[in-house]
Structure 1
Amino acid sequence: MAATIKLLSLRLALFLCLLSPGKSTSSYICRHVPGEIAIAQARTGKLIKGKPEWNVTFKNPCICTQLEIFLTCTGFKTVEKIDSRTLLLLRGRCRLYDGAPIYGGHSLSFKYAWDHPYAFKIANATIACS
């Protein structure tokens, strides 16, 4: 029964994607929830003060622009200097790129250095559709 429901849901989603002319299937209309920005991290291969450097990328998979993005940052540490316009620490939250927009299908990234990757999560973001 559950498998049948999943299959029907998948078919419905595919059908709806085909009905939206001119829109890429890699982008969709946002549901207006903060977790819709995809976060990926990878080691750069460099060492900064003996710590591995990480590149973190925030990608907006939605059609709509997202801006004023805040992350949870409690316990975040780095030995690599990060410009405050890139990541501004504010009482356990971080403002990403001075509130700059991430347009649909685009991404922003920055680098930091620590022993292990930090588990960034989106705390809040403003969605702008026109």
Structure 2
Amino acid sequence: MSLPFFVYGTLRPGEHNHGLFLRGRTQTEEPGRLAGAVLYDGPGYPYAVEEAGGGPVYGELVTARPEAYDELLTALDRLEEYIPGDPRNLYERVVREVTREADGAAVRAWVYVAAPAVAVRLRARGKLIEQWPS
């Protein structure tokens, strides 16, 4: 399933992982927002934590160049230390609707959200990150 990616932390333009992972691999990058989630300052990285009625979390909707898609998906999974089904994951890669800022269209995208155990810890004692649209 070749979906765009919604990025909200170190992969956003101007952040250190943008150039390392996305430069040269993307077809488009456009502002978007994810409803039903809030952003926490987690250990080392920001985490989107799903929360009914929360958000939105602002970020970019990134569409990979078709020839770079598989390589980018693998690289992002590695960056987020995501292994399907692994209970030790810090993030889970899930499909969610993201709203494109330019026209308000809902787009299905891959989003890395806090894994359940991480989300519980962040809700209990994490620090929320206040966000504003770019």
* Fold match (TM-score > 0.5): no
**TM-score normalised according to structure 1 size:** 0.26
Higher helix share: 2
Higher Rg of the two aligned structures: 1
